[in-house]
């Protein structure tokens, strides 16, 4: 029999996916355990293999980059000024990475597994990272102009992604250095504004150097 929305089966699948996203984003693929995921989902240990075949399969299905893609799509239709669009992108991306209430767990998993390849890395690169680089590359091209070299432009993309991801990666450390720190909406907006200002100044300098 096929699945239907709202059945107990679907509920278990969905609970497993949500629990898996939490665990994977908090502890990484290796660090997360099937048993803890099932405990969170209030189901049996065998459920993962029944519904997803394996821990790998669960990770693959837990990854959902639709919000990331939707954000890029909406950005393209927003303001015409590319600098404003870059500011919007950085803000939305930082919210996905840091916001406690509405953050995108798949994006956090992506951030985590940048450095730590798992069987799902190919899918992550194909569906999330490569499109992200392409999107940012085109956006920065609009800002930097045609004179800027391809390699230079790609490094600007790295500079922006590096800044954004650092706030996610270094969270455990920052909490030890500054225990009072909390990433509420106000703080995230301030951080995003800083990254945008810092980066736009950097890009404009690079493009000016290339124009000479």
Residues that bind DNA (CB under 7 A): 1, 3-4, 7-9, 11-12, 32-36, 43-51, 54-56
Task: Count CB atoms within 10 A of the CB of residue 85.
Answer: 18
Residue 138 touching its own copies (CB under 8 A): no
Residue 13 touching its own copies (CB under 8 A): no
Q: Which is nearer to DNA, 46 or 190 (CB)?
A: 46
Between residue 60 and residue 89, which ones bind its own copies under the rule CB under 8 A? none
Residue 199 touching its own copies (CB under 8 A): yes
Among 36, 61, 204, 210, binds its own copies (CB under 8 A): 204
Query: What minimum distance in Å lies between the beta carbon of 207 and its own copies?
Result: 10
Between residue 17 and residue 56, which ones bind its own copies under the rule CB under 8 A? 28, 30-31
Helix axis angle, 130-144 relative to 82-98, nearest 10°?
Answer: 150
Residue 91 touching its own copies (CB under 8 A): no
Among 176, 180, 186, 212, binds its own copies (CB under 8 A): 176
Q: Which is nearer to its own copies, 67 or 131 (CB)?
A: 131
Output 111-120 pairs: Cβ under 8 A, ≥24 positions apart: 111/165, 111/168, 111/169, 112/24, 112/25, 112/28, 113/28, 113/29, 114/165, 116/28, 116/29, 116/30, 118/29, 118/30, 118/56, 118/59, 119/56, 119/59, 119/60, 120/29, 120/56, 120/59, 120/60, 120/63
What is the distance, to the nearest Å, from the Cα of residue 60 to the centroid of all Cα atoms in its chain? 15
Cα–Cα distance measured from residue 33 to residue 204, given in angstroms and rounded to the nearest whole number: 46
Structure tokens at 137: 């590359």
Binding site for its own copies (CB under 8 A): 28, 30-31, 111-112, 114-117, 121-122, 125, 129-130, 133, 151-152, 155-156, 158-159, 161-173, 176-177, 190-191, 194-195, 197-206, 209
């Amino acid at each position: 029999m096929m699945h239907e929305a709202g059945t107990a089966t679907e509920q278990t699948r969905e609970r497993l996916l949500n629990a898996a996203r939490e665990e994977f984003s908090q502890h990484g693929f290796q660090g997360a355990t099937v048993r803890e995921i099932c405990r969170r989902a209030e189901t049996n240990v065998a459920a993962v293999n029944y519904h997803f075949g394996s821990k790998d399969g669960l990770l693959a299905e837990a990854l959902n980059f639709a919000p990331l893609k939707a954000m890029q799509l909406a950005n393209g239709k927003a303001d015409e000024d590319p600098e404003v669009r870059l500011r919007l992108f950085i803000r939305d991306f930082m919210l996905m990475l840091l916001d406690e209430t509405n953050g995108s767990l798949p994006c956090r998993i992506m951030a985590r597994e940048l450095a730590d390849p798992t069987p799902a890395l190919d899918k992550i690169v194909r569906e999330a990272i490569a499109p992200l680089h392409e999107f940012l590359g085109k956006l920065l091209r609009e800002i930097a102009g045609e004179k800027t070299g391809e390699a230079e432009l790609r490094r600007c993309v790295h500079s922006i992604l590096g800044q954004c991801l650092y706030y996610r990666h270094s969270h455990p450390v920052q909490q030890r250095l500054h225990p009072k720190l909390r990433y509420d909406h106000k703080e995230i907006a301030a951080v995003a504004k800083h990254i945008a200002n810092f980066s736009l100044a950097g890009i404009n300098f690079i493009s000016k150097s290339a124009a000479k």
